[in-house]
């Protein structure tokens, strides 16, 4: 017998046979139904869905039962083929989900508002490339990521070999111009490159989507750590930026977001957008203010066309990892931008990988900008990403404290709140919204 066994044995016995003093007496058979009813009542009291269930109309109760029945039928069928889409990598499970009857039903149900969507990532890259071709005057050049423009490779004549380059290692850059941009021979007409691609234009769009975006059918191989997923994610944005820096494409993109939101029965949408100047085909540069007004015009025009669309809100989102002075200057600029636009520039966010730039570093800048807003008779509503981690302790988790102290009215993700019951109580008391994004959280955390 091992020396510690005598110590362990009483512990194991106490777990297997808890002391009668700590447990209610077992029910007799006749008393069982009453005890069961008591237990169910005690459980129902604090359940999150109690109030909602009490409000359901007979038609909603009927719909809920029908939906439940279809969901169970589908779940049983999926178990037979051993693939349960929500448990699969999103890129692999997405198409199965789209064929689901339950998904179609959910799609048709009214959903109210989307409060957390990054406009740059809200539309598939394939669609953006098609739209770039449709708008015309679009050019592309290929750069090895990290090598910059100096090492950018000429596509012409090399296109058939493009697929030889390891996935994720090439990044296209786009530009709109009536002639070859800067006279640089590395630029090629997008439509020519697209149709010369092996497999044709559709294959090219798919290649761009998979090379540039974070989608992967094998995330466990492509992203062995959370860090590698974030690195790939961060690389998407310069490519997308080279497309939406062109005002006509940015306008198209917003309109498309409104269309797909409405098709999904979402009538109100608030979009995060990284403030940038834009340009048109004449080379005219539009300021940030001119650009946001152009986006507002797109929303108003869409609302006039589709009265069921409830409208949009814009949430300028600044890169938190930039130099503190730069972030502070941009925060002040956003406050100035809000003056007179408060009803649709609804808040400001600080975005980017939280661990690279804890909110604590930006506290003095945010506080002084809030004062500045006061002098301009406006406010700086903060909708901040915080707690986007599974862990308690690291910077993203600590960001929850700063977000709350800085008066954030909404918290993006907030996954690590699960580890802070006192903060959850505070959030409920202060009526702060938590923007929950399940698919995003399964990819980035």
Residue list 327-346, contact with Zn ion (CB under 5 A): none
Part of the chain binding Zn ion (CB under 5 A), chosen from 188-196, 298-306, 367-375, 407-415: 407-415
- Give the dihedral sign, CA 264/267/273/279: positive
Residue (138 or 399) nearer to Zn ion, CB: 399
Residue (328 or 354) nearer to Zn ion, CB: 354
- Size of residue set near Zn ion by CB under 5 A: 1
Residue (338 or 413) nearer to Zn ion, CB: 413
User: Which residue in the shown chain puts its C-beta closest to Zn ion?
Assistant: 412
**Exposed e or buried b for every residue in 181-207, given b needs 16+ CB within 10 A?**
eeeeebbbbbbebbebbeeebeebbbb
Residues 439 and 86 sit within 8 Å (Cβ to Cβ): no
Q: How far is CA 348 from CA 199, 384, 408, 412, in A?
A: 43, 8, 10, 12
Tell me which residue of 206, 215, 208 sits closest to 94, measured CA to CA. Answer: 215
Smallest separation (angstroms) from Zn ion to the CB of 118: 6
Smallest separation (angstroms) from Zn ion to the CB of 349: 8
Instruction: Classify 402 in phi/psi space as left (phi over 0), alpha (psi -120 to 50) or beta.
Output: alpha
Smallest separation (angstroms) from Zn ion to the CB of 344: 20
Residue window 185-224: x/- pattern of binding to Zn ion, with contact defined by CB under 5 A: ----------------------------------------
Could you give phi then psi for residue 411, rounded to 5 degrees?
Answer: -120, 125
Smallest separation (angstroms) from Zn ion to the CB of 116: 6
Residue (212 or 384) nearer to Zn ion, CB: 384
Part of the chain binding Zn ion (CB under 5 A), chosen from 38-46, 125-133, 301-309, 408-416: 408-416
Smallest separation (angstroms) from Zn ion to the CB of 333: 21
Smallest separation (angstroms) from Zn ion to the CB of 198: 35
Smallest separation (angstroms) from Zn ion to the CB of 319: 13
Beta bridge partners of 383: 410
Residue list 412-431, contact with Zn ion (CB under 5 A): 412
Residue (114 or 345) nearer to Zn ion, CB: 114
Residues 341 and 295 sit within 8 Å (Cβ to Cβ): no
CA angle 104, 110, 116 (to 5 degrees): 95
Residue (190 or 269) nearer to Zn ion, CB: 269
Residue (254 or 302) nearer to Zn ion, CB: 254
**Exposed e or buried b for every residue in 85-94, given b needs 16+ CB within 10 A?**
beeebbbebe
Q: First vs last Cα of the chain: how many Å apart?
A: 46
Residue (74 or 354) nearer to Zn ion, CB: 354
**Exposed e or buried b for every residue in 278-290, given b needs 16+ CB within 10 A?**
bbeeeeeebebee
Smallest separation (angstroms) from Zn ion to the CB of 185: 39
DSSP 246: B
Part of the chain binding Zn ion (CB under 5 A), chosen from 41-49, 165-173, 196-204, 404-412: 404-412
Residue list 127-156, contact with Zn ion (CB under 5 A): none
Part of the chain binding Zn ion (CB under 5 A), chosen from 20-28, 220-228, 370-378, 409-417: 409-417
Smallest separation (angstroms) from Zn ion to the CB of 437: 6
- Residue 329's CB is within 10 A of a number of other CB atoms, namely 15
- Give the dihedral sign, CA 212/215/218/224: positive
Residue (412 or 414) nearer to Zn ion, CB: 412
Residue (247 or 384) nearer to Zn ion, CB: 384
Gap between the Cα atoms of 158 and 140, Å rounded: 13
Part of the chain binding Zn ion (CB under 5 A), chosen from 54-62, 97-105, 307-315, 410-418: 410-418
**Pairing between strand 138-144 and 112-118?**
unpaired
Part of the chain binding Zn ion (CB under 5 A), chosen from 197-205, 284-292, 370-378, 405-413: 405-413
**Pairing between strand 278-279 and 285-286?**
antiparallel
| Residue ranges in contact with Zn ion by CB under 5 A | 412
């Amino acid at each position: 017998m091992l020396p510690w066994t005598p110590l362990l044995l009483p512990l194991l016995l106490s777990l297997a046979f808890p002391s009668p003093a700590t447990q209610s007496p077992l029910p007799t058979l006749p008393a069982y139904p009453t005890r069961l009813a008591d237990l169910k009542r005690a459980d129902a009291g604090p359940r999150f869905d109690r109030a909602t269930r009490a409000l359901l109309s007979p038609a909603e109760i009927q719909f809920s039962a029908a939906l439940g029945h279809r969901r169970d039928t589908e779940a049983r069928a999926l178990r037979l083929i051993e693939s349960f889409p929500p448990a699969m990598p999103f890129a692999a499970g997405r198409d199965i989900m789209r064929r689901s009857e339950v998904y179609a039903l959910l799609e048709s149900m009214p959903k109210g508002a989307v409060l957390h969507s990054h406009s740059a990532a809200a539309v598939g890259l394939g669609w953006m490339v098609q739209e770039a071709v449709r708008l015309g005057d679009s050019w592309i050049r290929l750069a090895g990521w990290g090598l910059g423009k100096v090492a950018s490779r000429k596509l012409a004549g090399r296109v058939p070999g493009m697929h030889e380059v390891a996935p994720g290692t090439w990044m296209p850059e786009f530009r709109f111009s009536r002639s070859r941009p800067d006279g640089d021979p590395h630029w090629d007409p997008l439509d020519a490159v697209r149709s010369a691609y092996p497999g044709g234009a559709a294959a090219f769009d798919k290649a761009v989507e998979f090379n540039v975006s974070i989608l992967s059918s094998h995330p466990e191989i492509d992203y062995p750590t959370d860090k590698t997923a974030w690195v790939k994610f961060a690389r998407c944005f310069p490519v997308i930026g080279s497309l939406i820096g062109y005002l006509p494409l940015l306008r198209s993109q917003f309109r498309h977001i409104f269309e797909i939101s409405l098709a999904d029965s979402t009538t109100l949408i608030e979009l995060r957008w990284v403030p940038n100047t834009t340009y048109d085909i004449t080379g005219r540069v539009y300021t940030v203010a001119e650009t946001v007004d152009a986006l507002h015009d797109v929303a108003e025009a869409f609302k006039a066309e589709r009265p069921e669309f409830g409208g949009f809100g814009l949430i300028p989102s600044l890169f938190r990892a930039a130099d503190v002075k730069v972030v502070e200057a941009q925060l002040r600029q956003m406050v100035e931008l809000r003056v007179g636009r408060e009803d649709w520039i609804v808040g400001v966010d600080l975005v980017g990988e939280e661990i690279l730039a804890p909110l604590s570093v930006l506290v003095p800048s945010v506080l002084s900008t809030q004062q500045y807003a006061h002098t301009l008779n406006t406010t700086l509503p903060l909708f901040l990403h915080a707690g986007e981690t599974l862990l308690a302790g690291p910077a993203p988790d600590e960001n929850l404290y700063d977000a709350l102290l800085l008066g954030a009215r909404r918290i993006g993700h907030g996954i690590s709140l699960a580890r802070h019951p006192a903060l959850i109580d505070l959030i409920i008391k202060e009526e702060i919204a938590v923007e929950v994004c399940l698919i995003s959280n399964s990819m980035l955390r």
